[in-house]
Copies of this chain bind each other. A is one copy, B any other.
Amino acid sequence: MESEAAPWRELQRLIEEGDQARLKAFLANLDPLDVALSVSRLDDEHRALLLSTVSPRDAATVVEQMPDAQVAGAIEQLEPGVAAAILSRLQDAERADLLEQVDDPTAEAILTAMRPEEAHATRTLREYPSDVAGGLMTLECLVYAADATVADVLKDMRLHGKRYRDFVVQYAFVTSPDGKLVGVLRLRDLLFGNPSKRVSELMVREPLSVRDTGTLDELRAFFDAHPFYGAPVVDDDGRLLGIVRRATVNEALAARSENAFLKTQGIIGGEELRTMPLLRRSRRRLAWLSANIVLNVIAASVIALYQETLAAVIALAVFLPIISDMSGCSGNQAVAVSMRELVLGLLRPSEFWRVWRKEAAVGLINGMALGLLVGAVAWAWKGNVFLGIVVGSAMMLNTIVAVSIGGTVPLLLRRMGVDPALASSPILTTVTDMCGFFLLLSLAAALLPRLIGG
């Protein structure tokens, strides 16, 4: 374990010594995954010191490997000029995202220290939510007037080749004098085609584009349907605003599904890292747990109503958690399938009854299987066939309830505008717990003489 911890401590020591050349060499020799690991163990002060010691370009490389949540804290510690120099090496969308997480006066100071066109691009992107085309696009694209010749284009490219180096250059766009997108030039057409042709002859007319307000799902559908590396982003009037890359959309989709996973497990408010302050981590987790405990107490109160039945047949207490836990598992399987089908677009929130029929069928089969199994265990344990019938029936019925609710609750929540990743599981567990306790104890109460008599 000592040797594993070494790169991080070595990095901290080099930062404290402030030797730029050795820091650069150290980072260059480290595997990118090790850089991320080592930097994540530093505190905000050391991270800021690291970023301001190495060159802005090296600092940008480090920033790209850090989790977003750690970058904001370090950026706030830097001189605005230094922060601006580092951020200018990032893509527009990433820069705008990071500044979103920095406090407002610092963000304003950093924007002021940027080059005017960079600051303009960043401000433009900050006007959009980070999960629509306008918030994911880059303004760095090649744009030519409709009346330019191929010679003009090639001359401009050779003249500004250095500046265009980080641009998305698989396409160049052709706009009308009022900025409307009228055509797309593929660079390969300039390369592979006859060099004597004019731009207007080479360009693809009425090119496909996405609206600046297009959602992540619309962007995914677009890139699923078209094999492009990027898509031009236009406003209401068809004016070209920028370009959104396929890779950026894929990254945003991956981040969204990871976020959904964290929410289903009760980690809300974005990712949690173990390097965050203890009280902040406790508080965020407790927020979700507190809501959950209220639901739990409500569910358990069903047991309080049947204390007499339970006291008469104490063996039932052994089966209460089995029935509620197993139903919860069955229900969560149905939640997962619905969430997945919603994400893939294979399911509409309106298809409540179709999902219910499909899930009820699975619930009937699996409920019978689990009910027979648990019922047989109960019968064998106490030698009372009626206990087996009560426990097995409750297990079967509650499995049907659980998968019905698990399959349909994500649809209902989506329709109501509530995030299904966050609320599906707590709602499911509460209802299946209540229902499972009620089924077992009320069936037992009805057959009480037989259970005691056995």
**Chain A interface residues toward B at CB < 8 A:** 1, 4, 31-33, 36-37, 40, 61, 64-65, 67, 154, 157-158, 161, 164-166, 169-170, 187-188, 190-193, 217, 221-222, 224-225, 227, 229, 246-247, 250-251, 253-254, 257-258, 260-262, 264-267, 271-274, 278-279, 281-282, 285-286, 288-290, 292-293, 296-297, 299-301, 303-304, 307, 310-311, 314-315, 317-322, 324-326, 329-330, 332-333, 335-337, 339-341, 343-348, 350-351, 353-355, 358, 361-362, 365-366, 369-370, 373-374, 377, 429, 433, 437
Pairwise interchain contact A289-B366, C-beta atoms closer than 8 A: yes
Please give, as numbers and ranges, the residues of chain B lying within 8 Å of A345 by CB-CB distance: 33, 36-37
Q: Is the CB of B37 within 8 A of A346?
A: yes
A274 to B302 Cα, complex, angstroms: 34
Contacts of A318 in B (CB 8 A): 300-301, 303-304, 307
**Which chain B positions have C-beta within 8 A of A221?**
31-33
Which of B191, B254, B261, B339 contacts A336, CB < 8 Å? B261
- A332 contacts B265, CB within 8 Å? yes
Q: A interface, by DSSP: helix, strand, loop or mixed? A: helix
- Within the assembled complex, what's the spacing in Å between the Cα atoms of A123 and B332? 39
* Chain B residues whose CB sits within 8 angstroms of the CB of A362 once the complex forms: 278, 281-282, 285
Q: List 16 A-B contacts (CB under 8 A).
A: A1-B351, A32-B225, A37-B347, A164-B188, A264-B264, A267-B337, A274-B354, A279-B365, A285-B330, A288-B333, A290-B373, A293-B326, A300-B319, A300-B322, A310-B317, A320-B320
